[in-house]
Amino acid sequence: MTTRRIGASTVTRVEERAGPGFAPEMLLPDWDQAVLQEHPWLVPNYYDLASGKMMSSIHSWVIRTRHHTILVDTCVGNHKPRPAWERFNMLDTPYMARLAAAGVRPEEVDYVMCTHLHVDHVGWNTTLRDGRWVPTFPNAKYVFSEVERNYWDPSLNKDLPESNAGIFEDSVAPVIESGQAQIVGMTDRLGDNLLIEPAPGHSPGHVIFRLMDGGDEGVFIGDVMHHPIQVYRPEWSSRFCTDPRQAEESRRRILEHCADCDARVFPAHFGAPHIGRVRRKGAGYRFDFDHGEQS
């Protein structure tokens, strides 16, 4: 279990699942196999030679500040019907046991922060109880950007595919109906040290979270980058981006910020080591993986 400090705050990774995910050309349409020779460090932690697939992790980040316990992104969830995504369909993982092992009980979570509302970022928002989807974290406020919430609401977006409508209906709508949703602008602030900033492109209302404490900064980037190769190839957007060019613009801006501010980067899907810092390399960037202490 990976834990890091940002000032007086701690950040702990809680894994749902990890291993070979998408074929690289499926995830990144511009993929060039030559990068494996250019970047041999990709094997084995970030590219699995046996399967020819990218290594991927699906996890949440638990932030503990002086005042709050905050959960960033909630993975896929158990027992969610996802026939359009075979690797996400009807999972049964020990995620909640891992959350407990990190010292977090559901009732202790003050905020659930969703960078965006895709299938692998909202699943544990809700739990199936007595045949109904109910909020997993009964005392939490669930924070969504207004642009994102409106885009994925099938009552507001009539062009939304049925599979995406189902995600909203079982993992977002119950939170809204319970009165636990906190809908924010693309730029907002939670308390004194957690900033919400826009990072659209992967999805229309995608946001990042910047945790600042004691002169340190951690940036929770969601799907601004799915894979560390995008640090070196920021022009490579994923197949799942709503607007690939806008996604690239957001990625370049965040890479520049993280390099200039020496911010620690907390991605949603990088393999292990999952965390690192962006450094400038010529006209581009490189990624320094964080091999620090683990607990």
Average pLDDT estimate for 251-272: 97
DSSP letter assigned to residue 140: P
DSSP letters along 11-74, please? EEEEEEEEEE-S-HHHH-TT--TTHHHH-GGGTTTTEETTTTEEEEEEEEEEEE-SS-EEEE--
Average pLDDT estimate for 139-162: 95
- What does the pLDDT read at residue 2? 82
CA atoms of 172 and 249, how far apart (whole Å): 28
- pLDDT greater than 90 at residue 59: yes
- Mean pLDDT, the chain, as a whole number? 96
**Burial class for 132, CB neighbours closer than 10 Å (0-12, 13-18, 19+):** exposed
Average pLDDT estimate for 92-114: 98
- pLDDT greater than 50 at residue 294: no
CA atoms of 200 and 224, how far apart (whole Å): 8
How many domains does the chain fold into? 1
- pLDDT greater than 60 at residue 54: yes
Average pLDDT estimate for 268-289: 96
Name the 3-class secondary structure at 160: coil
- What does the pLDDT read at residue 293? 46
Neighbouring C-beta atoms of residue 178, cutoff 10 Å: 13
- pLDDT greater than 90 at residue 53: yes
Average pLDDT estimate for 38-59: 97
- What does the pLDDT read at residue 161? 86
- What does the pLDDT read at residue 192? 75
pLDDT digits (tens, 9 = 90+) for 17-32: 999 999 999 999 999 9
- pLDDT greater than 80 at residue 295: no
- φ, ψ of residue 74 to 5 degrees: the values are -125, 30
Q: What is the domain extent for residue 267?
A: 3-289
**Burial class for 53, CB neighbours closer than 10 Å (0-12, 13-18, 19+):** middle
Neighbouring C-beta atoms of residue 8, cutoff 10 Å: 12
- φ, ψ of residue 146 to 5 degrees: the values are -65, -40
Give the CA distances from residue 60 to residues 74, 76, 123, in Å, rounded to whole numbers and listed in that order. Answer: 6, 10, 11
Percent of the chain at pLDDT > 90 equals 93
295 assigned to some structural domain: no
The C-alpha angle 236, 238, 240, rounded to 5 degrees, equals 155
CA atoms of 187 and 169, how far apart (whole Å): 26
Q: Which CATH number is 179's domain given?
A: 3.60.15.10
| Residue 71 in tokens | 């959960």
DSSP letters along 100-127, please? HHTT--GGG--EEE-S--SHHHHGGGEE
134 assigned to some structural domain: yes
- What does the pLDDT read at residue 292? 67
CA atoms of 244 and 236, how far apart (whole Å): 8
- pLDDT greater than 90 at residue 8: yes
158 assigned to some structural domain: yes
Q: Give the residue from 147, 82, 156 showing the smallest Cα distance to 120.
A: 82
294 assigned to some structural domain: no
207 assigned to some structural domain: yes
- What does the pLDDT read at residue 123? 98
- What does the pLDDT read at residue 191? 82
- What does the pLDDT read at residue 291? 78
64 assigned to some structural domain: yes
pLDDT digits (tens, 9 = 90+) for 157-205: 998 988 889 999 999 999 999 999 999 999 999 887 999 999 999 999 9
On whether the CB atoms of residues 121 and 74 are closer than 8 A, the answer is: yes
Of 163-172, 227-236, 285-294, the least confident: 285-294
